[in-house]
Amino acid sequence: MTLVVQIVLVLALLAGMIAPFIGNKHWHWSQLTLVVCITLAGVGFLFLAAETVRTHHVLRAKLPKLEKDLTNANTQHENLLHGSGDTQGTLDLEHRLQMVARDRGRVWRQVMPVGEVDDQGQVEVKIAQPNPHGLAESTIVFAFEAVEPNLDDPTAAVEPSTGKQFLGEFRVIEAKDSGVVLEPVQLINPRTGQRLVESPGPWSLYETMPADRHSLFAGMPEEELRQMMPAETVDEYLRHGTPATADDNEFEVVGLDENDQPLGPEDLDQAVKRLYDRPLRDYAYLFAELAQQRVLLLARTQATTEDNAKLAESIESAQRLGKFRQEQKEMLSADLDGMQHDRQAIETHRSRVLNMLTNARKQIDERLKENSQIARQLTNLQLGQIQQINQTAPAPAGVETPTP
């Protein structure tokens, strides 16, 4: 506040005090009180007005510098957001980070198994970072054996032939402050179970199965690729981007125009260059599909084993039945021989009986014929004797002698 304003305020205050003092003999006490209050209020108002003017003066004096600083800060903020020249902004970097995070999902590294793996494949793991780890129950994660970093040289390249491998797909069944308890999603076979038991850690847990991308292996030397990839598929990685051959599948060929721009499948016949394009693999789908096929094969193997056991039992039963039938056949053959012998004896006896019957019938016929002849002879003889008796014997009285 300037000196002039202070003097004006003091004079106004003195005038306000003197006026009531002079007029106290003629004014009512209420009028005196009102004048004093008006004087004090006016002085207060003048003081506040002067302070307001001073404050505005001080603030407005700093305003040009603040506006300049704000302009510089806005420019710097825009450069940080959108970048300047060859420097990428935070929006571009955040977008790239989101793309990587979306493709990869969340990752928990340096995860250490705690305790032993049980018969069901359940294992407890300790997660040091981040804290809290953020893994909830029923979350599905993919476990990989992690390559331990080189503490002496963190920037050193990791050797591809470390033997680290995929451990399996797991479900979080219990979440703790220090870690989680994992349970396999698929059935654990002896090979997978042995691999889990022998894996000391550290592990890496991925929320999403890492995607297969061409950029991961771009420019990698052939020797390194042959160390990392199976011999059956390494040629696909080596041939990627090389001229296609007539034996390549049309779905594995990409066409380029004169400006090296890719063409659609319908324009493949107009391509200036035809390059081999390695097919990308969805490992999450492939592992799940292979697990299902493995379950089917195990079920078929078990069914085939049971069928073979039943078939072997049926063969053994058939062999026992065949042996029993063979014994029956031998017994029946012996019975048949006896029956044939008996039949032959019966037929011989029958022939004899038939011959005896034939002879008996012949003798009966002869005897009947002889008997008939004898009967006729006896009849004729009796008739002759009757005639002779009738001729020689006298007739009774009164009876006429029949004329012969």
User: Per-residue pLDDT tens for 107-153?
Assistant: 898 899 987 888 788 889 999 888 888 888 989 999 988 866 544 54
Answer with the one of 314, 333, 350 that is the final residue of a domain: 350
For the segment 302-309, the average pLDDT, to the nearest whole number, is 93
Q: What is the DSSP letter of 223?
A: H
Q: Are residues 256 and 226 in the same domain?
A: yes
Domain CATH number, residue 191:
2.40.30
Cβ neighbours, 10 Å, residue 288: 15
- The mean pLDDT of 306-322, rounded to a whole number, is 92
The answer to whether position 400 is within a domain reads no
Domain boundary (350, 382, 397) is at 350
- For residue 9, give the nearest of 35, 39, 38, 31 by alpha carbon: 39
Under 8 Å between Cβ of 176 and 127: no
Task: Please give the helix or strand (H or E) that residue 110 lies within, else none.
Answer: strand 107-114
Domain assignment present for residue 75? The answer is no
Torsion-angle region of 173 (φ positive above 0: left; ψ -120 to 50: alpha; else: beta):
alpha
For residue 323, tell me if it sits in a domain.
yes
pLDDT of 300 above 60: yes
Lowest mean pLDDT among 96-100, 231-235, 256-260, 400-404: 400-404
What are the φ/ψ torsions at residue 255 (nearest 5 degrees)? -100, 140
Residue 219 resides in a domain = yes
Residue 16 reports pLDDT greater than 70: no
Q: Check residue 310 and give its pLDDT.
A: 93
Mean pLDDT of the chain: 81
Tell me how many domains the chain contains: 4
Residues 184 and 108 in one domain: yes
Q: What is the pLDDT of residues 162-202, one digit of tens each?
A: 567 888 889 999 998 889 999 988 877 777 788 888 888 88
Pick the more confident residue, 312 or 160.
312
139: in domain: yes
pLDDT at site 89: 80
The dihedrals phi and psi of 365, each to the nearest 5 degrees, come to -60, -45
Query: How far apart (Å, rounded) are the C-alpha atoms in residues 94 and 100?
Result: 10
For the chain, percent of residues with pLDDT exceeding 90: 14
List Cβ neighbours of 127 (8 Å cut-off, separation of 6 or more): 108, 111, 133, 135, 178, 179, 180, 205
- Show the tokens assigned to 234: 């390494």
Output Rg (C-alpha) for the chain, integer angstroms: 64
pLDDT classification of 265: cutoffs 50, 70, 90: confident
The range of the structural domain enclosing residue 9 comes to 3-61
Looking at residue 106, the DSSP 8-state letter turns out to be -
- Evaluated on CA atoms 70, 76, 80, 84, the torsion sign reads positive
- pLDDT score, position 161: 45
| Better-predicted residue by pLDDT, 48 or 113 | 113
125 and 204: one domain?
A: yes
Judge whether 297 lies within some domain: yes
Residue ending a domain, among 323, 350, 377, is 350
Give the tokens for residue 68: 């300049």
Which of the four pLDDT bands, split at 50, 70 and 90, describes residue 309? very high
Question: Does residue 179 sit within a domain?
Answer: yes
Residues 201, 270 within the same domain: no
Mean pLDDT score, 251-269: 81
In a domain, 373, yes or no: no
Across 164-201, b (16+ Cβ under 10 Å) vs e yields beebbbbbbeebeeebbbbbbbbebeeebbebbeebee
Same domain, 141 and 174: yes
What integer pLDDT is reported at residue 180 of this predicted model? Answer: 92
Please give the C-alpha separations between residue 9 and each of 36, 46, 56, 256, in angstroms, as whole numbers: 15, 7, 20, 89
Quick: pLDDT tens for 336-390: 888 999 999 999 999 999 999 999 999 998 889 888 899 888 888 888 888 888 8
